[in-house]
Amino acid sequence: MENNTTISENALVTTLCNSIQTLGRGFDVTSDIRLLYCKGTPGSRLLHIDEEHTENLEISENQVIPNVSIDIECAKGRSSTETTPVWPFHEMANYFNEKSNVPGHVPLGSFNAMFNFTGSWQLDAAATKSLTMVGRVMPLFKVKLSKSNLVLRDDVKHAVPYSWDPASLASFIENYGTHIVTSVTIGGRDVVYIRQHQSSPLSVLDIENYVKDIGDQRFSDLKSHTTAGPLKYKDKDVTVIFRRRGGDDLEQSYAKWAQTVEAAPDVINMTFIPIVSLLEGVPGIKHLSRAIELYLEYKPPIEDLQYFLDFQISRVWAPEQNNLQRKEPVCPSLQFSLMGPKLYISPDQVTVGRKPVTGLRLSLEGSKHNRLAIHLQHLVSLPKILQPHWDAHVAIGAPRWHGPEEQDSRWFEPIKWKNFSHVSTAPIEYTDTCIGDLSGVHIVTGAQLGVWDFGAKSVLHLKLLFSKVPGCTIRRSVWDHSPANLSAPQRPDGSSTSLSNEKTPDDRRLDGSNQFGKLAKIVDATEMSKGPQDMPGHWLVTGAKLGVDKGKIMLRIKPIYCLLISLRLPPGIEMNGGVEVCWESRPMVTYWPVRKNPNTEFGPASQQELQKQTKGDGHVVATSPPRDSFFRPRRTSQ
């Protein structure tokens, strides 16, 4: 018995000491609240803490933690019941934010972890009807910073980039986090989280009754409870998740588990303060503040944050629209029935030069809204990652137009009737570029609609202009069939989540929902584009195709979005090939380097070690994960 008491005391003291060392350290609040997710080494605080004046911290009569800064307080906690009403997604997210003292509406990592959310709150909110929770919380101790005037260390202030430099901003967030830990509560927590999906027919009263029943059962000693994972409630699209922190989770009874909390305490809550709130007067604070806001809003992978930030540039549509009335041009036309209206096709070439295209759309123009045109969405400036490869002084060769073959009728689809106009649905992409091509990639920089005149059976087709981006390769490229407006839901305040795709009055005028006439029923004017809400948030168009769906002419693009990776190799290393590796449905490119220097050792697994096998489509699939997902050469000692 004495030995068990000693172990219990040691575990409590160790956890409490680790929590004290955590105070003042950086933290990324997109992560769950765990001590191991703190930035830096134990004790590497971002704040000035008085380490010279210390005192002993008495936990009990026999337990003392020596040399604790006078800027740190410790208080005992009291057990309580934690129950919430049946709330919508955003109210529950705000509740978690308030517990962690984090302002704003964006969900934290702890919220996502408890309810098994993906982290893409736009999609999670759309799929969730309501949330609630019931549980017991046993806080043993809470340690916190007692200073009211917190001051950052000078080296942290000096690390703030003065300008909008995506690489430096991403490095700052990776090294220091988004917030600073101000308090840590240790103890135990046994909570049941209930998540009602949109398809659930249950009413709020049904959920409340179920929560009461499950709470009474879970936290009484009438029965033992063996459930530890998520359950579905009577096939009513309600997910129930049982979670414990601290204590011995092998104890099924709540009463017996509660007795083990002191012997195995864990962190059950943290509070934070934003780093930027302590940077008043520091040059570059506005850039860091915006970078952190974007990171918390969209939560791109930290390894992609630099490129994500680089692509958060304003976007506009080409050609520019004006209100000047001009004479209607002479255009070829399509006819869908014997007596029906004609749809005129604008043959204008729309080009944007060296400005990356991020989306396309069809539009009905003219005073009668009877002229079909194509528009391109592009970045107003060049991301920094592309400047060494695509700036004005870089030779990239002449752009090339690509389109379908006029004689290839396999792709011809009728719009309404077989005896009238058709659409060529052939995909348009630069076929000479493939995943792993080291010579460069070709991206869309222009588009044009055209008509092949076959009498009543005229065929609408699409041509694209491709420009080369040397020194880059495609990491991922897939066809996208999701309209842009489906992936940009509303914030709790009603504003749009899209930061760089806001519509001007001219854009709204051109939107298909505002167009008049019968021809609006034949043209799908949905914008096809990717923005920051689409992981990983930095995409470019590499292809497009026309289509017909239920009598409507539509446009689809290929993410058509690709993720560009700049090929910058260390001295003495060159590439000799690439292979697309699909692991857990996440394609990537792994390169096999040629060793020029005999003192160079390579980190990734070899081709043989991947135990690859070839599918019918020619892709290579790894049957076991590689040791390293990316190309990371390392040097051996001379």
Residues near 377 by beta carbon (within 8 Å), at least 6 away in sequence: 315, 316, 317, 318, 357, 358, 359, 360, 361, 501, 527, 529
Q: How confident is the model at residue 336 (pLDDT cuts 50, 70, 90)?
A: confident
Closest CA to 129 of 98, 90, 95, 97: 90
Phi-psi group of 384: left, alpha or beta (phi > 0 → left; psi -120 to 50 → alpha; rest → beta): alpha
Residues near 186 by beta carbon (within 8 Å), at least 6 away in sequence: 15, 16, 19, 139, 140, 141, 142, 246, 265, 266, 267, 268
Q: Look at residue 242 in the predicted model and tell me its pLDDT.
A: 93
Q: Look at residue 481 in the predicted model and tell me its pLDDT.
A: 58
Least confident stretch, 91-95, 158-162, 215-219, 353-357: 215-219
198 close to 126: Cβ distance less than 8 angstroms:
yes
Calpha distance 628→190 (Å, rounded):
37
Residues near 168 by beta carbon (within 8 Å), at least 6 away in sequence: 161
449 close to 412: Cβ distance less than 8 angstroms:
no
189 close to 219: Cβ distance less than 8 angstroms:
no
- For the segment 250-302, what is each residue's pLDDT rounded down to a tens digit? 888 899 999 999 999 999 999 999 999 999 989 999 999 999 999 999 999 99
Closest CA to 28 of 284, 265, 300, 312: 300
- For the segment 31-90, what is each residue's pLDDT rounded down to a tens digit? 999 999 999 887 789 999 988 898 988 887 778 889 999 999 999 999 999 999 999 999
- For the segment 592-621, what is each residue's pLDDT rounded down to a tens digit? 333 333 333 333 333 333 333 333 333 333
Average pLDDT on 101-125 reads: 90
φ, ψ for residue 145, nearest 5 deg: -80, 125
Q: Which two tokens stand for residue 145?
A: 């910073």
- Tell me the three state secondary structure of residue 18: helix
Closest CA to 507 of 363, 358, 312, 325: 363
Q: Which two tokens stand for residue 560?
A: 């058509």
- For the segment 369-417, what is each residue's pLDDT rounded down to a tens digit? 888 999 999 999 998 888 888 888 888 889 999 999 877 888 988 888 8
- pTM value is 0.77
Calpha distance 594→216 (Å, rounded):
65
Kindly tell me the sign of the dihedral angle through the C-alpha atoms of 400, 406, 412, 416.
positive
Helix axes 285-298, 166-176, angle to 10 degrees: 70
Percent of the chain whose predicted confidence (pLDDT) is above 70: 75
Closest CA to 171 of 190, 183, 186, 156: 156
Per the prediction, the chain carries an average pLDDT of 78
Instruction: Give whole-number Cα distances, 583 to 370, 539, 560, in Å.
Output: 48, 21, 21
- For the segment 157-206, what is each residue's pLDDT rounded down to a tens digit? 999 999 999 999 999 999 999 999 999 999 999 999 999 999 999 999 98
Q: Quote the Cα angle for 336-338-339, to 5°.
A: 100
Closest CA to 177 of 27, 22, 284: 27
590 close to 512: Cβ distance less than 8 angstroms:
no
Closest CA to 24 of 126, 153, 125: 153
